[in-house]
Structure 1
């Protein structure tokens, strides 16, 4: 399967997405790294998870191959409404969601606004609560395209430092970050000072405490982008039906560094 999927009109936005498998619907929402797309985030889990679920992985507006309408103002509100509209356009009933990083925050906002749409949520290295921005997240959102900068980001994302020496991975992510329109949209989303973007993604403790959907929080212990103690650990104590699994020797890229055990956790949680 290539990185090009299908398109669907979601409230006037030509939305690019990947779809595979059959069974219960499972929506996968990617994170906010430079050059990111649904496929870049989820390509390793797709072949296995699609044997168990009907997978849908859209490119959130402003990312990947989804249309970037002129003069659009990127905001959490826009992204959340785009995901809700995608769920409704695809007619996904009782959908479970896996959200990675920023995508986790979007999943929580969907659950807060439209709990009727959502069955269960898996959050992975997720934002969604206020925390002091890390230097590493600041570097991710402040990325300017170069091979050297992409190498630095990969060493930030992964606990396994040999990944930053993988020239194919570095080249693939760098090239996707300079596709037409990608960097222009990305640099417009997270201008400095960047603490405000962390806060914009956050829900209040009161909102979080009212989400009754079962939630599995998954986090890499060595995550330097979104630190475990300030985010998933806190979320696990506020959200009523949340459980937390921490992977040791793992950075921000759980689905890449711990692909098979991560998938095992997802399947186990969703079949309860």
Structure 2
């Protein structure tokens, strides 16, 4: 047992063990976190998990390379690896089909899953999502180029959040400590080395394939996002026929934290439209 809330349950997924959180009962919802330094499923979804758990089975894994999931030596960090890991999580939990909620990097992964394995995906929520090509923003370049220090982490938090009230020295210290756990920075530095435009493009799915997507999709973005441009959301909305777009004003890259109550209600109601069947 541990008092660290980032550590949940462990399950064997392919050739390594995955740390994940599993809350509630009902239709399964897989929550895929973003790619910030020191990130974990709990850090991204700590306000979302309990809100969804009243109606759904909310599952949030630490994707390989992040959080407290095992990091196999020699693993290649790319879209194929992360898609395989997500499917292995569902398989290990004996879940044939799930709704998918993806944040930023996790949105690009969720989109790829829906395109490559539509039989495994119910409804789709893309929040502050990559998944289409765009010009690397200074904000994302800074996030992916992070080198550990409390000062640098504080600077990242200022980029992520619209409201300075969400950014504190305590939060910066906590996220810094998460980013310097053994093996964390080494894995992170290996994922997105400069020049970083290539990793934006590597996380994108072909637009002609995106146009074929049949999954009902909710696209959510912060109007003031300095990491992933809001234009991404509008482009995804144009490409995905069965989609709806919700843009939050006075909101940066942390929609699920900055507007937690409204985000949770929006997602829960959207998924509820599918009923109990997947």
What's the TM-score bracket when you normalise by the shorter of the two chains? over 0.9
Q: In structure 1, how many angstroms separate the alpha carbons of the residues matched to 2:166 and 2:255?
A: 13
Alignment match of 2:119 (pick from 91, 105, 116): 116
Q: In structure 2, how many angstroms separate the alpha carbons of the residues matched to 1:50 and 1:61?
A: 24
CA distances 1:121-179 after superposition (whole Å, capped 9, x unpaired): 11100000000000000000000000000000000000002333x12211111111111
> Do residues 145 (structure 1) and 144 (structure 2) align?
no
Q: In structure 2, how many angstroms separate the alpha carbons of the residues matched to 1:216 and 1:28?
A: 14
Residue of structure 2 in register with 1:176 after alignment = 178
Q: In structure 1, how many angstroms separate the alpha carbons of the residues matched to 2:68 and 2:196?
A: 25
Q: CA RMSD in A?
A: 0.9
> Do residues 19 (structure 1) and 52 (structure 2) align?
no
Residue of structure 2 in register with 1:205 after alignment = 207
Residue of structure 1 in register with 2:276 after alignment = none
Count of residue pairs brought into register by the alignment: 270
Residue of structure 1 in register with 2:195 after alignment = 193
| SS of the residue 2:109 aligns to | helix
- 1:114 deviation in Å? 0.5
Residue of structure 1 in register with 2:229 after alignment = 227
- 1:94 deviation in Å? 2.6
> Do residues 264 (structure 1) and 265 (structure 2) align?
yes
Unaligned runs of 5+ residues in structure 2 are 274-278
Residue of structure 2 in register with 1:56 after alignment = 59
- 1:205 deviation in Å? 0.8
Q: In structure 2, how many angstroms separate the alpha carbons of the residues matched to 1:267 and 1:6?
A: 24
Alignment match of 2:89 (pick from 86, 89, 100): 86
> Do residues 6 (structure 1) and 6 (structure 2) align?
no
Q: In structure 2, how many angstroms separate the alpha carbons of the residues matched to 1:53 and 1:179?
A: 32
Runs of 4+ in 1 over 3 A off after TM superposition: none
Question: What is the TM-score normalised by the length of structure 2?
Answer: 0.95
CA distances 1:181-204 after superposition (whole Å, capped 9, x unpaired): 111100010000000000000011
| SS of the residue 2:133 aligns to | coil
Unaligned runs of 5+ residues in structure 1 are none
Residue of structure 2 in register with 1:128 after alignment = 131
Alignment match of 1:33 (pick from 18, 32, 36): 36
Residue of structure 1 in register with 2:48 after alignment = 45
Question: What is the TM-score normalised by the length of structure 1?
Answer: 0.97
- 1:3 deviation in Å? 1.6
